[in-house]
Structure 1
Amino acid sequence: MRVAIITELAEHGERYVHELVEALNVPQPLVSQHLRVLRGSSVVRAERRGREIAYSLVDQHIAHIVADAVAHVSERVV
Structure 2
Amino acid sequence: MTTAAEDAPLSGLQAASDLLRALSSPVRIGIVRELAAGSRRVHELVEALGVSQPLVSQHLRVLRASRIVTTRRDAREIEYSLLDEHVAHIVLDAIKHTRE
TM-score, length basis structure 1: 0.87
C-alpha deviation, 1:72, in angstroms: 2.8
Task: Report sequence identity in percent.
Answer: 64
From 38, 45, 65, the equivalent of 2:70 is: 45
**2:89 matches 1:70:** no
User: Structure 1 stretches of 5 or more lacking a match?
Assistant: none
**Residue 9 of structure 1 aligns with which residue?**
35
Corresponding residue of 1:54:
79
Residue ranges of structure 2 left out of the alignment (5+ in a row): 1-26
Q: Which runs of 4+ in 1 moved over 6 A?
A: none
Matched length: 74
- The RMSD of aligned alpha carbons is 1.0
Higher relative contact order (CA 8 A, sep 6+): 1
Deviations 1:47-71 (A, max 9, x none): 1111100000001111001112223
Q: How far apart, in 1, do the equivalents of 2:32 and 2:98 lie? A: 17
CA deviation string 1:18-60 (max 9, x = no partner): 1111111110000000000000000000111111000000011
Q: Counterparts of 2:89 and 2:96 in 1: how far apart (Å)? A: 10
Residue 2 of structure 1, CA deviation: 0.4
Determine which of 43, 54, 60 is the counterpart of 1:18. Answer: 43
Could you tell me how far apart the structure 1 residues matched to 2:58 and 2:29 are? Answer: 14
TM-score by length of 2: 0.69
